[in-house]
Copies of this chain bind each other. A is one copy, B any other.
């Protein structure tokens, strides 16, 4: 039994996991879950993830949900010497730095970014007008977060240090979508954040996953 990923190539959390699978060169089958038909709330899917969210990874007998737990699992289990160690497990200092910046993405970047992407791309698909007040409020929060990143990236090449890690990878989906909005200047006005982002865009794994990232029903 191979690796199966239940998800959707448009979903940010699915993309996060796909980027990691491509980085590690893991062959997998993407099993599409039709979010618009609510398949993730059906009993079959709830048996895999009781929270009714994509993605879910199945690897043999193991079923894992929560995208950031899945990427950690993949990074550990499928680490191959020819690929970057995304967790920096050999160094206690580097591995804790990765953990800190993984948490920063979860608790600062994602809460600022997610409502912007939702309002701009998802609300219209649901027949609703984007709420500009919500967007503006979160753009202000995002600016604060990216100011910290700009300073940080003056000291280290990537967020956790001079190495690409899971902390950078986790940012890929929301960064990619932000660049398709009218507010890409949040990135391009900050030279180090811009260079960090452009460097990430050059990675083969990200090019591959970007192909499916189109908001449409």
A residues neighboring B (CB under 8 Å): 50-51, 62, 64-66, 68-69, 72-73, 76-77, 92-93, 96, 99-100, 102-104, 106-108, 145, 148, 151-152
Interface of chain A, main secondary structure: helix
**Which of B72, B99, B104, B145 is A96 in contact with, Cβ under 8 Å?**
B72
Q: How far is the CA of A108 from the CA of B52 in the complex (A)?
A: 12
User: Are B108 and A69 in contact, with the CB atoms below 8 A?
Assistant: no
Known contacts A73-B99, A107-B66, A107-B106; A50 and B151 CB within 8 A of each other: yes
Q: How far is the CB of A148 from chain B (nearest CB, A)?
A: 5
Q: Would you list 26 pairs from A and B whose C-beta atoms are within 8 A, ordered by A residue?
A: A50-B152, A51-B104, A51-B108, A51-B145, A51-B148, A62-B93, A62-B96, A64-B96, A64-B100, A66-B99, A66-B100, A66-B103, A66-B104, A66-B107, A68-B103, A69-B96, A69-B100, A69-B102, A69-B103, A72-B96, A72-B99, A73-B99, A76-B92, A77-B92, A106-B106, A106-B107
Q: How far is the CB of A87 from chain B (nearest CB, A)?
A: 11
Q: Which single residue of chain B is at the shortest CB-CB distance from A95? A: B76
Q: Which residues of B contact A96 (CB under 8 A)?
A: 62, 64, 69, 72-73
Q: How far is the CB of A85 from chain B (nearest CB, A)?
A: 17
User: Are A99 and B151 in contact, with the CB atoms below 8 A?
Assistant: no
- 18 additional A-B residue pairs with CB within 8 Å, beyond A51-B108, A66-B103: A50-B148, A51-B104, A51-B145, A51-B148, A62-B93, A62-B96, A64-B96, A65-B100, A66-B100, A66-B104, A66-B107, A68-B103, A69-B99, A69-B100, A69-B103, A72-B99, A76-B92, A77-B92
For A93, A104, A108, the residue with the greatest tally of chain B CB atoms inside 10 Å of its CB is: A104
